[in-house]
Amino acid sequence: MRKGLIVQKYGGSSVANVERIQIVAKRVVAYRKKGYDLVVVVSALGDTTDELIELADKINAHPPEREMDMLLSTGEQISVALLAMAIDKLKFKAISFTGSQVGIITDTRHTRARIVKIGADKIRQALKAGKIVIVAGFQGMTPDQDITTLGRGGSDLTAVALAKELSADECEIYTDVEGIYTTDPRIEPKAKKLEEITYDEMLEMASLGAQVMQARSIEVAKKFDVPIHVRSSFSEKPGTMIIKEAKKMEDVVISGVTLNKNEIKITVCDVPDHPGAAAGIFKELSGGGVNVDMIVQNVSHTRKTDISFTVPRADVSKAKRITRRASSKIGAGEVIVDEDVARISVVGVGMKSHPGVAAKMFDTLAKEKINIEMISTSDISISCIIKKKPAESAVRSLHEKFGLGK
Ligand code: ADP
Ligand code: ASP
Ligand code: MG
């Protein structure tokens, strides 16, 4: 008798080489032997996606996004085929599919497409035939049959969306750390593994730079209440459950510290202080597809003001070009681009009812002689833009000051 359906996702480092693919195959087969149906989502081998991006850059610095998706989706096609072969070698039945083959239909936003529908008939048929189903993560297809990708880290989204669509009993995300930690364990070895974390906190941590889960996958998990188990593909230990409500002690104020080095800061000087000036800049940027994040505008005493904002590092040249053009259109001054910045943030639902978190954060940075260039807050996080160099040691200091260590 079948025990239930498990969706498992293995990240790039979990399938980085032949030996690791064989280990994954053995783990999958072990679950199969216990009587589970399995849908396995796989990322591209190791750093394949980064390597493909570099390769494209050597050919064309501004490649058409449709062609970028044609290129990047090949990474996952390699890994699903290899995993299916490894499982076959263990004498179990497996079949691999691309995203388009299993009917993952997306919108047409190439390189960051959104899933609009999942057919999944092919998956159901293969499961019925007793096969282990292996699906390429990170990819889908437009209604016009163009291949799309779901944004970096998008295999997490494939797994969560399939778990929802197939009403899976479990959704496991296998990665190279043992779960979600209070901060990146590669930056702070004293980081503590969390038994559980809420969707809201995980979403905030992911959006603020904790790459362990793709932010959009958590949005979908929250929307459809899909519990996620993040754990290591190198050990048998239980990892972290991402769930609606964590049953933790009331006095937990901060759950984690994050670092994001993927943003840069742009300042437009001498912006005329009249209605429509800011709109003149940000409308152009959004028209050009540049996602603006933190925005700070100084109070003006002189009828001119400075506006600073952050944009993704990947968009720096586009953002520079558009901002310069917009600045001259509205009669503003110089545009200064600062690439030497990082964002550090503290995250926790407890801060809603505990004052003093901001003061403690600023005080910790001051003691480290770190200058704060920008500040932004949400209900459950506080972020500061600082220089890149002291950022990792700032993470460790905040981690200690907020009592998160082991
Ligand atoms: P995968 O290839 O499995 O998708 P990723 O590299 O995308 O793995 O994510 C795992 C990495 O996320 C870890 O190696 C770790 O360095 C990093 N990370 C950042 N913040 C955290 C955190 N709070 N908890 C756990 N890992 C984190
Ligand atoms: N291979 C893709 C990436 O590196 C998708 C993923 O790993 O989730 O972003
Ligand atoms: Mg990932």
From CA 120, how far away is CA 374, in angstroms rounded? 46
Distances (CA, A) of 265 to 29, 285, 329, 371, 385: 48, 14, 21, 15, 9
Please tell me if the CB atom of residue 175 comes closer than 6 angstroms to any atom of ligand 1.
yes
In this structure, are residues 373 and 265 in contact, taking their beta carbons and an 8 Å threshold? yes
SS3 120: coil
Q: What is the pTM of this model?
A: 0.94
Which atom of ligand 2 lies nearest, measured to the CA of 157?
A: 8
Q: pLDDT-based confidence at 225, cuts 50/70/90?
A: very high
Q: Whose CA is nearest to atom 9 of ligand 2?
A: 152
Q: pLDDT-based confidence at 297, cuts 50/70/90?
A: confident
Q: Please give the distance, rounded to the nearest whole angstrom, from the Cα atom of residue 111 to the centre of ligand 2.
A: 11
Q: Please report whether residue 272 resides in a domain.
A: no
Please tell me if the CB atom of residue 208 comes closer than 6 angstroms to any atom of ligand 1.
no
User: Has residue 248 got a pLDDT over 70?
Assistant: no
Q: Please report whether residue 170 resides in a domain.
A: yes
Q: pLDDT-based confidence at 249, cuts 50/70/90?
A: low
Strand partners, 141: 105, 147
pLDDT of residue 170: 96
Please tell me if the CB atom of residue 36 comes closer than 6 angstroms to any atom of ligand 1.
no
Q: Whose CA is nearest to atom 4 of ligand 2?
A: 49
CATH number of the domain within which 36 lies: 3.40.1160.10
Distances (CA, A) of 200 to 132, 245, 251: 33, 9, 18
Query: Residue with structure tokens 């905030």?
Result: 204
Q: Please report whether residue 399 resides in a domain.
A: no
User: Has residue 247 got a pLDDT over 90?
Assistant: no
pLDDT digit string (tens) for 349-401? 889 888 899 999 999 999 999 999 999 999 999 999 999 999 999 999 999 99
Q: pLDDT-based confidence at 136, cuts 50/70/90?
A: very high
* Ligand 1 pocket, mutate which of 211, 217, 392 (most atoms under 8 A from CB): 211
In single-letter form, the type of residue at position 364 comes to T
From CA 94, how far away is CA 337, in angstroms rounded? 51
pLDDT of residue 250: 58
The two tokens of residue 45 are 């081998």
- What is the number of domains present in the chain? 1
Q: Please report whether residue 336 resides in a domain.
A: no
**CA torsion through residues 125, 129, 132, 136, sign:** negative
pLDDT of residue 332: 93
Q: Whose CA is nearest to atom 4 of ligand 1?
A: 11
pLDDT digit string (tens) for 61-114? 889 999 999 999 999 999 999 999 999 999 999 999 999 999 999 999 999 999
Q: Please report whether residue 392 resides in a domain.
A: no
The chain-wide mean pLDDT, for the chain, equals: 95
pLDDT of residue 1: 54
Distances (CA, A) of 351 to 199, 206, 265, 359, 378: 16, 18, 27, 12, 10
pLDDT digit string (tens) for 27-55? 999 999 999 999 999 999 999 999 999 99
Q: Please report whether residue 165 resides in a domain.
A: yes
The two tokens of residue 78 are 């390699």
CA of 153, nearest ligand number: 2
Q: Please report whether residue 192 resides in a domain.
A: no
pLDDT digit string (tens) for 250-272? 567 899 999 999 999 999 999 99
- In this structure, the residues whose C-beta lies within 6 A of any atom of ligand 2 are 11-12, 43-44, 49, 75, 137-138, 152-156
Q: Please report whether residue 124 resides in a domain.
A: yes
Q: Give me the domain span that covers residue 162.
A: 4-176
Residue 140: closest CA among 161, 119, 113: 113
pLDDT of residue 375: 94
Please tell me if the CB atom of residue 75 comes closer than 6 angstroms to any atom of ligand 1.
no
Q: Please give the distance, rounded to the nearest whole angstrom, from the Cα atom of residue 204 to the centre of ligand 1.
A: 15
Q: Whose CA is nearest to atom 7 of ligand 1?
A: 212
- Burial string for 210-239 (b: 16+ CB within 10 Å, else e) reads bebbbbbbbbbbbeeebebbbbbbeeeeeb
pLDDT of residue 31: 97
From CA 404, how far away is CA 37, in angstroms rounded? 38
pLDDT (mean) for 313-339:
94
